[in-house]
A and B are shown apart, each in its own frame.
Chain A
């Protein structure tokens, strides 16, 4: 027997004794066990959710199926209206577990979405988000579910590019690792030139080459090329800035210009270290404080210090900030210049709660 509590679809009343519940990819069908002509069907898309009710004393196992509201285009059935929003399938003998499992499967796969149904069945708006209203707890649950799906979708879309990138990166890392291994294994077979090329290729991807014995001391082809490029690129900016730029400024400038294939800080430093050996007109210089700058070879330190002394004498005293403003330099570089002048004995310092000031050395 099927207890029919919901008559929102075409359920035949009264003479529903023993029957068979059939499940297709699209519908739930009940068919009278004796009269096969007598059958009713309901599209699966109408199901919001379903639950098991365990068997008890005098009670058989049941599956309770909660349904959406009546769609507008519902075909005429045995009942036009019912106050219930669910149906119960009562399994007298057996099959509840299996049926539940299958129903779960079909509801998960939702295959009715993919293939259109031949028979005219009111499909309703089914699992479309947000259109149908439902009341009570079921309605709230549905809304939560819909929202979750929507969020999921947005996140997935947002991360699509990133996951594609990660997949590509993974491929590249694998590739370079295998190349590195091949180099290691075939040490004798690969030519010098090829080895250099591969090493450069790996370095340019920022992957430490396990094979290389030399450090940046003797340089790599890549760094040499880079150094030459920098030599050309930095000439004008350096001249604009009085012949000296902090390495951090260079890093920003160069990478902004490149746009793609950005340089790592390591690569930049290694390239800059090669200026002198490549006879380029630039120098990498490290101050006592550890600040690194790139300066034009033609840059004269004595001139800088002499002019610093003039500036300070003229103003009586200067802080690093004031000096920076005066010269249009960064505070970092102006401080370095003042410190250097102090080191040379041209300036002395006044360190107080007001800050650090430099005076001409009158001692």
Chain B
């Protein structure tokens, strides 16, 4: 299924950072939404800022418009504030994109666990992300670092506990 671009993507002013404050807020909201859905669609979990500027996400060749570096940083800052983005380095050249926040993942995983009556069971991380049973679930194929954070979130909520085993990490759900 090809990615569906929002109407703003073909609206030239979308690629100019708007000076009017109210207009800008709406513009940024649209950009955040676009960035996240794009990453979700292509299962991107990390972004390199330089590459992003040239990718179709921020560069619409059809209307010959692209976001400036300055604007991209503004969008990323918005995402960071909302908890969807984390910088991997001080120079802000690479970042983690969490188009679903750890808490949201955690919720999904726990829903599956309780649905299948697996509460009080123990799983390895691998089983969760790559096991046969989780095939077809959204969190199937989730990258380790994200899975870990999600479980940590559940742990904070008291719904799970992480522990280390011989060959990796495991989790118990409550």
Interface, chain A (partner B; CB < 8 A):
317, 342-343, 345, 348-352, 357, 359, 361-363
With a cutoff of 8 Å between Cβ atoms, the chain A residues found around residue B18 in the complex are 348-349, 363
Min distance, Cβ A354 to any Cβ of chain B, angstroms: 8
Contact among A342, A343, A351, A359 for B11, CB-based, below 8 A = A359
Find out whether the CB atom of A350 lies under 8 angstroms from the CB atom of B12: yes
Is B168 interfacial (CB 8 A cutoff)? no
Min distance, Cβ A315 to any Cβ of chain B, angstroms: 14
- Of residues 7 to 29 in B, which have CB atoms within 8 Å of A's CB atoms? 8, 11-13, 15-16, 18-20, 22-23, 26-27
Contact among A345, A350, A351, A352 for B23, CB-based, below 8 A = A345
The residue in A343, A357, A362 that gathers the most chain B C-beta atoms within 10 A of its C-beta is: A362
* Bound-complex Cα distance A352 to B18 (A): 13
Find out whether the CB atom of B65 lies under 8 angstroms from the CB atom of A363: no
Is B30 interfacial (CB 8 A cutoff)? yes
With a cutoff of 8 Å between Cβ atoms, the chain A residues found around residue B26 in the complex are 363
Min distance, Cβ B89 to any Cβ of chain A, angstroms: 30
With a cutoff of 8 Å between Cβ atoms, the chain B residues found around residue A350 in the complex are 12-13, 15-16, 65
* Bound-complex Cα distance A352 to B68 (A): 10
Contact among A342, A345, A363 for B30, CB-based, below 8 A = A363
With a cutoff of 8 Å between Cβ atoms, the chain A residues found around residue B11 in the complex are 359, 362
Find out whether the CB atom of A348 lies under 8 angstroms from the CB atom of B23: yes
* Bound-complex Cα distance A362 to B23 (A): 9
Residue of A nearest to B68 (CB): A351
With a cutoff of 8 Å between Cβ atoms, the chain B residues found around residue A357 in the complex are 12-13
* Bound-complex Cα distance A351 to B15 (A): 8
Find out whether the CB atom of B23 lies under 8 angstroms from the CB atom of A361: yes
* Bound-complex Cα distance A342 to B16 (A): 13
Min distance, Cβ B133 to any Cβ of chain A, angstroms: 45
* Bound-complex Cα distance A349 to B20 (A): 9
Min distance, Cβ B60 to any Cβ of chain A, angstroms: 12
A selection of 26 A-B contacts at a CB cut-off of 8 Å is A317-B12, A342-B20, A342-B23, A343-B20, A345-B20, A345-B23, A348-B13, A348-B16, A348-B18, A348-B20, A348-B23, A349-B13, A349-B16, A349-B18, A350-B12, A350-B16, A350-B65, A352-B12, A352-B16, A352-B65, A357-B12, A357-B13, A359-B13, A361-B20, A363-B18, A363-B23
Min distance, Cβ A286 to any Cβ of chain B, angstroms: 19
Min distance, Cβ A351 to any Cβ of chain B, angstroms: 4
Residue of B nearest to A339 (CB): B19
Find out whether the CB atom of A349 lies under 8 angstroms from the CB atom of B22: no
Known contacts A345-B22, A351-B16, A359-B13; 12 further A-B pairs (Cβ under 8 A): A342-B20, A345-B20, A345-B23, A348-B27, A349-B16, A349-B19, A350-B12, A352-B12, A352-B16, A357-B12, A362-B11, A363-B13
The residue in B8, B11, B12, B15 that gathers the most chain A C-beta atoms within 10 A of its C-beta is: B12
Min distance, Cβ A181 to any Cβ of chain B, angstroms: 54
With a cutoff of 8 Å between Cβ atoms, the chain A residues found around residue B65 in the complex are 350, 352
Min distance, Cβ B59 to any Cβ of chain A, angstroms: 13
Residue of B nearest to A356 (CB): B16
List 3 tightest A-B contacts by C-beta distance, closest first.
A350-B12, A363-B26, A351-B16
* Bound-complex Cα distance A359 to B26 (A): 15
The answer to whether A342 and B19 touch (CB under 8 A), given A363-B26, A363-B27, is: yes
* Bound-complex Cα distance A342 to B12 (A): 15
The answer to whether A359 and B12 touch (CB under 8 A), given A343-B20, A345-B22, A348-B18, is: yes
With a cutoff of 8 Å between Cβ atoms, the chain B residues found around residue A348 in the complex are 13, 16, 18, 20, 23, 27
Min distance, Cβ A339 to any Cβ of chain B, angstroms: 9
With a cutoff of 8 Å between Cβ atoms, the chain B residues found around residue A351 in the complex are 16
Min distance, Cβ A76 to any Cβ of chain B, angstroms: 100
The residue in A343, A352, A363 that gathers the most chain B C-beta atoms within 10 A of its C-beta is: A363
* Bound-complex Cα distance A357 to B26 (A): 19
Min distance, Cβ B72 to any Cβ of chain A, angstroms: 15
With a cutoff of 8 Å between Cβ atoms, the chain A residues found around residue B22 in the complex are 345
